[in-house]
Amino acid sequence: MTTQIAYSEQFDKHDNINHPENAKRLHVMIEEIKKAPFYDDLDFIDFKMIPEKILYDVHTISMIEQIKDMSNLDDSWIDMDTYVCRSDYETARLATGGILKLSQNVLSGKAKNGFGVIRPPGHHATKNRSMGFCLFNNAAIVANEITKQNKKVLIFDLDVHHGNGTQDIFYNRNDVMYQSIHLYPHYPGTGGIEEIGFGEGKGYTLNSPLTHGNGNGAVSRVLDEIFLPVAEQFKPDLTIISAGFDSHHMDPLGGLKFTTNFFGEMIEKYEKIQPKIIGTLEGGYNLNWIGKCLVSILGKMSKKNVNFNDTANEHQNVDITIENIKEELKNYWEL
C-alpha cells in the first residue's frame, strides 16, 4: 500500500495574491514534493466534490447559502480575514472531497495513509460561521461522515492557531476527539485548558495552550504525557491531522518554535496509536519552509525519512500547563 496525495490545480481558483493564504502555497509544496526521494512512490488520486447534502450535516443552512451566493460574484469578503472567489462553493467542496476520498481509501485498505494538499483550509470554520481564512471545515465534515460508519475519529491539530471551528462542531460528542496544541493568547482567542467538552463530550476535547517560544521539547512533553496516552485509551479508527505549518519557527504569522523535522516526528508518534492516518492542510505562510515541513510528514508516512538542517531555540516552560491539563482531565482518563 502507498501514501496517497489529494491535490488539484482547481484549488488555484481560490486566490488573492495580497492575502497570505494564496495559491502560491500549494505551488511551493508540490515543487518540494517533486524533489523528495519518495516522489515516485506517491499515489496522486482523483476525487470529486462532496455532495451538497453532506455540508448540511455539519454547517448551518445560512452559512452554506452565504458561500454559495458569494461564489457567484467576483472576489468578496466574509470578514476582514476571509475572502471568497468566484466558484469557491465548488472549490471548497472539492477540497473536502479530497480529504473524504483519502479517508475512505485508508479505511478500506486501498492506501496506507494520505495527505490532502488542499485549500481553502478549514479548522476555523464553525457550525455557523466561515472565518479565519476558512470556508467549510474539511476535517470536521470528513470526521462526521466517518462516524456514520460507527467509527471513532481522532483529530490532532498542530496549527499555531487553535481550531475553534473543529472544537465547536464536536464539543458535545464522544465519537470524535479533538486535540490541539496552539499559541495562546493568539487568534482566535479560544483553546483554554478548561475547554474540555460539554455533556457527553466532556473529556473529549484536549487543549494545550502554549506560550511564545515553546517548540519541539515542550510539545513532545505534552504529547508523551497527555495527548498520546489519552488517544491510546480512546482507540480511534482513524486519525486526521490538521496540519498547519505556521507553527514552524520561521512563520510570519506564528510564534512557536517547531523545526521542520519535528512535523514528521509528531506524525510518527501518532502512527503508533493508529497507523490509519491522513493529513489535511491548514495554515503555514513561509513559502521557503512550508514545502519542507510537508515533506517531513510525507517522509515519515512513506517510511523514507527526509531530514532538514533546521534548528531553533525554544522555551520549555510547560510544567504548570501539563499539571493543569491533567487536573482538568483526571476524571475522564488515566494519566
Report pLDDT for 216.
98
Q: Does position 316 have pLDDT exceeding 90, yes or no?
A: no
CB-CB contact of 287 with 25 (8 Å): yes
pTM given for the model: 0.98
For the chain, the average pLDDT equals 98
Rounded to an integer, the average pLDDT of 98-119 is 98
Catalytic residue among 124, 161, 182, 248: 124
User: Crossing angle, helix 260-271 and helix 290-301, to 10 degrees?
Assistant: 30
Report the C-alpha gap between 253 and 237 in whole angstroms.
Answer: 33
Interatomic CA distance for residues 30 and 85, integer angstroms: 22
Grid coordinates representing 79 are 470578514
Q: DSSP secondary-structure letter at 247?
A: G
Average pLDDT (229-258) is 98
- CATH architecture, domain defined by 3-329: 3-Layer(aba) Sandwich (3.40)
Residues written for the chain: 335
Task: Answer yes or no: is pLDDT of 10 > 90.
Answer: yes
Pairing type for strands 238-243 and 83-84 reads unpaired
Cβ atoms within 10 Å, residue 255: 19
> How confident is residue 240, by pLDDT bands cut at 50, 70 and 90?
very high
The share of the chain scoring above pLDDT 90, in percent, equals 98
Report d(CA 100, CA 196) in Å as an integer: 27
pLDDT of 1: 86
Closest by Cα among 206, 188, 187 to 196: 206
Query: Does position 30 have pLDDT exceeding 90, yes or no?
Result: yes
| ∠ Cα 248 170 63 (to 5°) | 90
Strand ranges (DSSP E) for the chain?
3-6, 43-45, 76-77, 83-84, 113-116, 153-157, 176-183, 205-210, 238-243, 277-281
pLDDT of residue 238: 99
pLDDT score of 297 = 98
pLDDT for 89 beyond 90: yes
Q: What mean pLDDT comes out for the span 273-281?
A: 98
Instruction: Write the pLDDT tens digit of every residue in 31-65.
Output: 999 999 999 999 999 999 999 999 999 999 999 99
Written as nine digits, the cell of 312 is 531553533
Three cell numbers written together for 208: 494545550
**Among residues of the chain, what percentage have pLDDT more than 70?**
100
Q: What is the mean pLDDT of residues 138-152?
A: 98
| Grid coordinates of 14 | 481560490
Query: Hey, where are the domains in the chain?
Result: 3-329
Does pLDDT of 165 surpass 90? yes
To the query of whether residue 124 is one of the catalytic residues in this protein, the response is yes
Question: DSSP secondary structure string, 168-232?
Answer: HHHTT-SSEEEEEEEESS-TT----TT---SGGGTTSEEEEEE-TT-BHHHHHHHIIIIIHHHHH
For the segment 155-184, the average pLDDT, to the nearest whole number, is 98
